[in-house]
Amino acid sequence: MPGQRDNSETPPPTLEALAALAAIELPGACEQGVRDNLALLASHWRNLEGFAIPGDAEHPE
Protein backbone atom coordinates (compact mmCIF):
# COMPACT_ATOMS: atom_id res chain seq x y z
CA MET A 1 0.00 0.00 0.00
CA PRO A 2 1.50 3.36 -0.95
CA GLY A 3 2.79 5.26 2.02
CA GLN A 4 2.63 2.25 4.34
CA ARG A 5 5.32 2.11 7.00
CA ASP A 6 7.92 -0.59 6.92
CA ASN A 7 8.69 -1.21 10.57
CA SER A 8 11.05 -4.09 9.84
CA GLU A 9 14.10 -1.89 9.24
CA THR A 10 13.39 1.41 10.96
CA PRO A 11 13.66 1.45 14.73
CA PRO A 12 10.84 3.29 16.42
CA PRO A 13 11.69 6.76 17.69
CA THR A 14 12.64 6.98 21.32
CA LEU A 15 10.35 8.47 23.90
CA GLU A 16 12.88 11.23 24.35
CA ALA A 17 12.82 12.03 20.64
CA LEU A 18 9.04 12.18 20.56
CA ALA A 19 9.01 14.39 23.64
CA ALA A 20 11.56 16.70 22.04
CA LEU A 21 9.48 16.89 18.88
CA ALA A 22 6.45 17.94 20.92
CA ALA A 23 8.65 20.32 22.92
CA ILE A 24 7.45 18.83 26.16
CA GLU A 25 9.65 18.09 29.14
CA LEU A 26 8.41 14.69 30.21
CA PRO A 27 8.14 14.33 33.99
CA GLY A 28 9.60 11.04 35.21
CA ALA A 29 6.29 10.09 36.81
CA CYS A 30 4.66 10.11 33.37
CA GLU A 31 7.18 8.02 31.46
CA GLN A 32 5.74 4.55 31.93
CA GLY A 33 2.16 5.74 31.44
CA VAL A 34 3.08 7.58 28.27
CA ARG A 35 5.00 4.56 26.97
CA ASP A 36 1.97 2.34 27.63
CA ASN A 37 -0.36 4.76 25.88
CA LEU A 38 1.95 5.15 22.91
CA ALA A 39 2.07 1.38 22.58
CA LEU A 40 -1.73 1.30 22.59
CA LEU A 41 -1.91 4.02 19.95
CA ALA A 42 0.68 2.20 17.86
CA SER A 43 -1.46 -0.94 17.95
CA HIS A 44 -4.47 1.04 16.73
CA TRP A 45 -2.35 2.61 13.98
CA ARG A 46 -1.12 -0.82 12.86
CA ASN A 47 -4.72 -2.04 12.86
CA LEU A 48 -5.68 0.81 10.58
CA GLU A 49 -2.74 0.28 8.25
CA GLY A 50 -3.63 -3.35 7.85
CA PHE A 51 -6.54 -2.29 5.68
CA ALA A 52 -6.26 -0.91 2.17
CA ILE A 53 -9.10 1.46 1.47
CA PRO A 54 -10.74 0.20 -1.74
CA GLY A 55 -9.69 2.37 -4.65
CA ASP A 56 -6.48 3.60 -3.05
CA ALA A 57 -4.32 1.26 -5.10
CA GLU A 58 -5.77 2.62 -8.35
CA HIS A 59 -5.33 6.22 -7.27
CA PRO A 60 -2.17 6.50 -5.20
CA GLU A 61 -1.55 9.99 -3.87
Task: Single out the residue of 9, 11, 22, 60 in contact with other proteins (rule: CB under 8 A).
Answer: 22
Residue 60 found at the interface with other proteins (CB under 8 A): no
3-state secondary structure of 43: helix
CA distance 27 to 11: 24
Task: Single out the residue of 6, 8, 9, 23 in contact with other proteins (rule: CB under 8 A).
Answer: 23
Cα–Cα distances (Å) from 37 to 14, 30, 32, 57, 59, in that order, read 14, 10, 9, 31, 34
Enumerate binding residues for other proteins (CB under 8 A).
Answer: 3, 5, 18-19, 21-27, 29-30, 33-34, 36-38, 40-41, 44-45, 47-51, 53-54
